[in-house]
Chains A and B, each alone.
Chain A
Amino acid sequence: EAGVAQSPRYKIIEKRQSVAFWCNPISGHATLYWYQQILGQGPKLLIQFQNNGVVDDSQLPKDRFSAERLKGVDSTLKIQPAKLEDSAVYLCASSLPTGGYEKLFFGSGTQLSVL
């Protein structure tokens, strides 16, 4: 079974530039999550989708971050404009609706460096 795919693996940008990350969840997984993992901290949930609807985006900085999940499959997370404090690893995860957090699969992440 293929895992959660993320790209790019690494990204370096300057502050005030824009960046986008892509995630392809495991086939059939209706629930998709984006997490932000700052160095030395645990992952923090940014947004959760159920199919193409948003379940929880309470911790998403909506003035600069946006995410979409067209057709309930792939998802894109965008930052515009980026700030230095956005440097982090961005993790995508997916699960079946019934599995919840106990059946959560993570991708390898995209490491973002904002200079």
Chain B
Amino acid sequence: GDSVTQMEGPVTLSEEAFLTINCTYTATGYPSLFWYVQYPGEGLQLLLKATKADDKGSNKGFEATYRKETTSFHLEKGSVQVSDSAVYFCALISIQGAQKLVFGQGTRLTINP
């Protein structure tokens, strides 16, 4: 079935560092792709999305580009802040059978001042 694989965590960076969290997927066809973020003590919330190849999703300084040739949707930010500390989940909408959201395992990010 469809699946999402994220880079191993946890990831620890210093403030203002460049961030990349890798995400690759296996799916039939061209699913929609998402990044969700879970701040401490809060519910998951949508960070950004892309619905077709070469689309770039962006929000709060984060970006991710839908690359069908490499089946990837890597999350990037040029200069991270302490407030970006959270768990980040890559996800896709499976188009096999009933549509459902399939998540990666999550990557915990900690930013030190």
Contact = CB atoms under 8 A, between A and B. Distances in A.
A4 B98 contact: no
Interface in B18-38: 32, 34
Interface residues of A, number: 23
A22 interface: no
A106 B41 contact: no
Chain B interface, >50% SS class: strand
A101 B44 contact: no
B43 A4 contact: yes
A98 to B, nearest CB: 14
Contacts of B100: 45, 48, 56
Interface of A: 3-4, 40-45, 48, 55-56, 58, 91, 93, 100-102, 104-109
A47 B100 CA distance: 10
Nearest to A43: B103
16 contacts: A40-B106, A42-B103, A42-B104, A48-B100, A58-B98, A101-B32, A101-B93, A101-B101, A102-B32, A102-B34, A104-B101, A106-B43, A106-B45, A107-B43, A108-B41, A109-B43
